[in-house]
Amino acid sequence: MAVKGTDLVKLMPKKQGCKDCGFPTCFAFAMKLATGGTEVSACPHLSDEVREQVEELLAPPIRPVTIGTGEKAVLIGDEEVMYRHEKTFFHQPGIGVLVTDTEDPNEQERKIKAAEEMQFIWIGRTLKADLAVLQCASGDKGKFAGLVKRAVEINDALPLVLMADTIDILLAGLEACGKDKKPLLYAVTKENIDEAISKLGGAEVPLAVKAGSLEKIADLTEKLKEAGVQDLVIDPGSRKMWDAVRDQILIRRAALKQGFKPLGYPTITFPCQMADNPRTELAAATALLTRYGGIICLSDLSEDVLFPLVVLRMNIYTDPRVPMAVEAKIYELNQPTDNSPVLLTTNFALTYFSVANEIEATKVPAYLAIQDTEGLSVLTSWSAGKFNGETAGEFIKKSGIEDKTKNRKIVIPGLLARIRGELEDELPGWEIVIGPREAAGISSFLPELAGKA
């Protein structure tokens, strides 16, 4: 639950008129602090004890945890809402593939490479898996360390989850890849927690916590936090799909609605252990992705499983408050010449890709002029005053298209035939052609237009 400014006011030093924090009163400082507009350190008069108390109150309800380093690091947690429409979801779950040390070396290499190389371009974005989950199934410390080293050699930037039944084997894996890789170590349990605190407490890498119930998970996370271990990922141990979904909902609700800190951590889930065939595994992964799973571990990566999963993830984890948009500029399709026509539309991503794909399919060279409408579609941007004769004319003048083509024809969307007169006034010397109402009509319209040129 979000902390209230009034709760913070009670902890302020109440030094009248000091203004050392940059605010006129302690009340103003507390209110700004509650909304993230300033830092606790801005007040030099808070005692260490009170400062720690304030920082605890301000801590996100679900702790952010980073696995790996660099541009490919996976950040999970730090969520604020139960439902996307309330605000947005911030950090998409990491999708990982399970690789065991008992598998054939060629199979191990194939899976690890697929985590990076199996990619899909979808409305201008590259969608792919994120992690390799390396499991010691043999119980052999040396064999597991060898798998970890091999994974690093194949792709040293790929974030890793290291899984083993004993702390010593986890330490061997950690030594093989290095603490600087920041792998997630799985798992701390009731049986090994004291050993984990002793041997892994100072490793400064995230730890996964596993137990058979949420109550037992809470006990473990509290004990680890008291020992100074902060970056935790939790696994309630449920391995039936609907039990797992239920636990994910209860964990999120406890953290966000009840402010229950012992469950305020991201989760790791294992659809790979909930199904015996790819279709059922995909169903489990989909259910857990839509219900707050922080890491989704699959048994393998195949295009028919990974593609629908990463598209669903993109759809859920895009900000509903911000339309998906592409860069506003002139796009050259099918190698246009100085006699190629110009088609004009908005920078709403779905509009751009629908139109661009249809133009490319015709093989007709053309320029696609994409105007900045803040990601709004054709009719929406027109009704908002962002796409009309005046704005389109100004964009065309500044775009430089007049230097690229002698063909003075601009095709506008058929839905906006009404702006034709305005645009003719803005662009004297240009012929304004009314195009199809839908992108699908370009396949017949554009070749006919080119034939008349």
pLDDT tens-place string over residues 331-386: 999 999 989 999 999 999 889 999 999 999 999 999 999 999 999 999 999 999 99
Residues listed for the chain: 453
In this prediction, the residues of the chain whose per-residue pLDDT falls under 70 are 1-3, 452-453
pTM of this structure: 0.79
Which H or E run contains 29?
helix 26-34
Q: What is the DSSP letter of 404?
A: T
Q: Is the preceding omega at residue 366 within 30 degrees of 0, hence cis?
A: no
Q: Which two tokens stand for residue 308?
A: 């629908």
Confidence at residue 318, expressed as pLDDT on a 0 to 100 scale: 86
Instruction: Give bridge partners of residue 193 from the DSSP assignment.
Output: none
Confidence at residue 452, expressed as pLDDT on a 0 to 100 scale: 60
User: How many angstroms separate the CA atoms of 416 and 343, rounded?
Assistant: 13
For the chain, which domains are there?
5-58 (1.10.15.40), 65-317 (3.20.20.20), 330-452 (3.40.50.11600)
378, amino acid identity: V
Confidence at residue 246, expressed as pLDDT on a 0 to 100 scale: 97
Q: In what order do the strands lie in the sheet with 409-412?
A: 330-333, 366-371, 342-346, 409-412, 431-434
421, amino acid identity: G
Which H or E run contains 381?
helix 378-383
The total of other beta-carbon atoms located within 10 Å of residue 84's CB is 15
Place of tokens 């058929």: 414
Q: Of the candidates 408, 415, 375, 416, which has an alpha carbon nearest to the alpha carbon of residue 392? A: 416
Confidence at residue 412, expressed as pLDDT on a 0 to 100 scale: 94
User: How many angstroms separate the CA atoms of 7 and 30, rounded?
Assistant: 8
The total of other beta-carbon atoms located within 10 Å of residue 363's CB is 12
Residue 267, phi then psi, degrees to nearest 5? -120, 160
- Give me the torsion for CA of 84, 86, 87, 89, rounded to 10°: -20
Q: Of the candidates 340, 361, 363, 352, which has an alpha carbon nearest to the alpha carbon of residue 410? A: 340
Confidence at residue 377, expressed as pLDDT on a 0 to 100 scale: 92
Confidence at residue 2, expressed as pLDDT on a 0 to 100 scale: 60
From the CA atom positions of the chain, what is the Rg in Å? Answer: 28
216, amino acid identity: K
Alpha-helix residue ranges (DSSP H) falling in 238-331: 241-256, 278-290, 303-317
Asked if 387 and 378 touch (Cβ cutoff 8 Å), the reply is yes
Confidence at residue 125, expressed as pLDDT on a 0 to 100 scale: 84
- Residues 99-136: pLDDT tens digits? 999 999 999 999 999 999 999 988 778 999 999 999 99
Confidence at residue 97, expressed as pLDDT on a 0 to 100 scale: 98
Alpha-helix residue ranges (DSSP H) falling in 79-230: 105-117, 141-154, 167-177, 193-200, 214-226
User: How many angstroms separate the CA atoms of 387 and 422, rounded?
Assistant: 11
Asked if 91 and 65 touch (Cβ cutoff 8 Å), the reply is no
Confidence at residue 306, expressed as pLDDT on a 0 to 100 scale: 96
Confidence at residue 34, expressed as pLDDT on a 0 to 100 scale: 78
| Helix-helix angle 278-290:303-317, to 10 degrees | 10
Place of tokens 């985590």: 115
